[in-house]
Amino acid sequence: MVFARGVRKSFGTLEVLKSIDIDVPKASVACIIGPSGSGKSTFLRCINHLEEVNGGVLLVDGEFVGYDLRDGKLYEVKDSLLCRRRADIGMVFQSFNLFSHMTALENLIEAPMMVKGLSRREATEKAHVLLERVGLGGKADNYPRQLSGGQQQRVAIARALAMNPKVLLFDEPTSALDPELVGEVLQVMRDLAESGMTMVVVTHEIGFAREVGDQLIFMDQGVVVERGTPREMIANPQSPRTQEFLSRVL
| Binding region for ligand ADP (CB under 6 A) | 11, 14, 16, 34, 36-42
14 or 250: whose CB is closer to ligand ADP?
14
102 or 176: whose CB is closer to Mg ion?
176
Which entry of ligand ADP, Mg ion, none binds 39, CB below 5 to 8 A by partner kind?
Answer: ligand ADP
- Vertex 100: Cα angle to 96 and 104 (nearest 5): 75
94 or 142: whose CB is closer to ligand ADP?
94
Contact 123, 201 (CB under 8 A): no
Q: How far is the CB of 220 from ligand ADP (least distance, A)?
A: 9
Q: How far is the CB of 10 from ligand ADP (least distance, A)?
A: 9
Side by side, which strands form the sheet with 55-60? 14-24, 2-11, 55-60, 63-66
CB neighbour list of residue 104: distance below 8 Å, 6 or more residues apart: 98, 131, 136, 139, 140, 141, 142, 143, 144, 147, 155, 158
Residue 222 main-chain phi, psi, to 5 deg: 80, 5
Name which position in 28, 41, 124, 151 contacts Mg ion (CB under 5 A): 41
Q: How far is the CB of 38 from Mg ion (least distance, A)?
A: 8
Q: How far is the CB of 169 from ligand ADP (least distance, A)?
A: 12
The number of residues in the chain equals: 250
The Cα–Cα gap between 65 and 60 comes to 7
Which entry of ligand ADP, Mg ion, none binds 103, CB below 5 to 8 A by partner kind?
Answer: none
Question: Which parts of this chain interact with Mg ion (CB under 5 A)?
Answer: 41
